């Protein structure tokens, strides 16, 4: 069994065995093994690993703080044990391979902050910034796929909402010669506004509605105004749609 092997992996149980205080004397040898119960996940490691850096764990296991144990002698730490093995690896080697997903990096950083491991906090922050720069778009525009989705987005938004409905595939009428150009101008205007005001306004696109080109404006979950950019031209004997 390795020095910091996780013996079991329960997901942060709400309760545990009755705890009792335990004092770790300052004279304990650094290579003494201790048994840790971190939120239901069990670990073996040494006092030397736990006290290498000036962290909360060093304060706990250098005799400066009283620790609690269960009836079987496992030292209790009331945190989720999911990332504690990574914490131990960092204490041992001063570096680790960070998780790939942003959410797991955030979880690890929260644990590092709790244990006051500043070097690991800095690593996590740098990785999150790199991922943000590489993968996060300047703005994200939802495209409506159902009326229920539209209703949910608008009702849950704390920002004003601007929706552009455009449906070039609507062949209810034929188009005038400049309709396509004008439709593209509306889309271009929407894209420019969404890039400029994305932090203040929620912009959404609708490509399933009945209208060919229509702007809608919402505040506090309700529609405030609507501008339909489509009109019917009765030129010759055939109806034509003008955008």
Helix axes 84-93, 102-114, angle to 10 degrees: 70
pLDDT at 30 (0 to 100): 58
Measured CA to CA, the distance from residue 206 to residue 66 in angstroms comes to 61
Q: How far is CA 86 from its chain centroid?
A: 20
Q: Are the C-beta atoms of residues 41 and 74 closer than 8 Å to each other?
A: no
pLDDT digits (tens, 9 = 90+) for 167-209: 877 766 677 778 888 889 999 999 999 988 888 999 999 988 8
Q: Give the per-residue pLDDT at 133.
A: 60
Q: Which CATH superfamily is domain 143-228 in?
A: Glutaredoxin (3.40.30.10)
Mean pLDDT over the full length of the chain: 83
Q: Are 68 and 79 in contact (CB under 8 A)?
A: no
Cα 172–Cα 178–Cα 184 angle in degrees, nearest 5: 85
Give residue 76's pLDDT. Answer: 93
User: Is 22 a residue whose pLDDT tops 80?
Assistant: no
Residue 166, φ and ψ in degrees, nearest 5: -140, 135
pLDDT of 198-225, one tens digit each? 889 999 999 888 888 999 999 988 999 9
pLDDT at 181: 86
Q: Which fold has domain 33-131?
A: Potassium Channel Kv1.1; Chain A (3.30.710)
pLDDT tens-digit series, residues 117-171? 999 999 999 988 887 665 556 678 899 888 888 999 999 989 999 999 988 777 6
What ranges do the domains of the chain cover? Answer: 33-131, 143-228
pLDDT digits (tens, 9 = 90+) for 84-116: 999 999 999 999 999 988 899 999 999 999 999
Instruction: Give kind and range of the element (H or E) at residue 179.
Output: helix 179-197
């Amino acid at each position: 069994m390795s020095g910091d092997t996780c013996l079991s992996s329960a997901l942060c149980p709400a309760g545990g065995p009755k705890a009792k205080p335990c004092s770790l004397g300052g004279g304990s040898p650094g290579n003494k093994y201790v048994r840790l119960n971190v939120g239901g996940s069990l670990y073996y490691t040494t006092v030397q690993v736990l006290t290498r850096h000036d962290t909360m764990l060093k304060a706990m296991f250098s005799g400066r703080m009283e620790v609690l144990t269960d009836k079987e002698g496992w030292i209790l730490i009331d945190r989720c044990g999911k990332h504690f093995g990574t914490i131990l690896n960092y204490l041992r080697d001063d570096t680790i391979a960070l998780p790939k997903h942003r959410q797991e990096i955030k979880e690890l950083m929260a644990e590092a902050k709790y244990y006051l491991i500043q070097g690991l906090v800095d690593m996590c922050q740098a990785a999150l910034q790199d991922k943000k720069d590489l993968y996060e778009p300047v703005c994200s525009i939802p495209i409506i796929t159902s009326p229920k989705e539209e209703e949910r987005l608008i009702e849950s938004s704390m920002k004003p909402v601007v929706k552009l409905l455009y449906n070039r595939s609507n062949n209810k009428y034929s188009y005038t010669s400049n309709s396509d150009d004008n439709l593209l101008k509306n889309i271009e205007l929407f894209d420019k506004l969404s890039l400029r005001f994305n932090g203040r306004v929620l912009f959404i696109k609708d490509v399933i509605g009945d209208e060919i080109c229509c702007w809608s404006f919402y505040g506090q979950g309700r529609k405030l105004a609507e501008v339909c950019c489509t009109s019917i031209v009765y030129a010759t004997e055939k109806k034509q749609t003008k955008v």
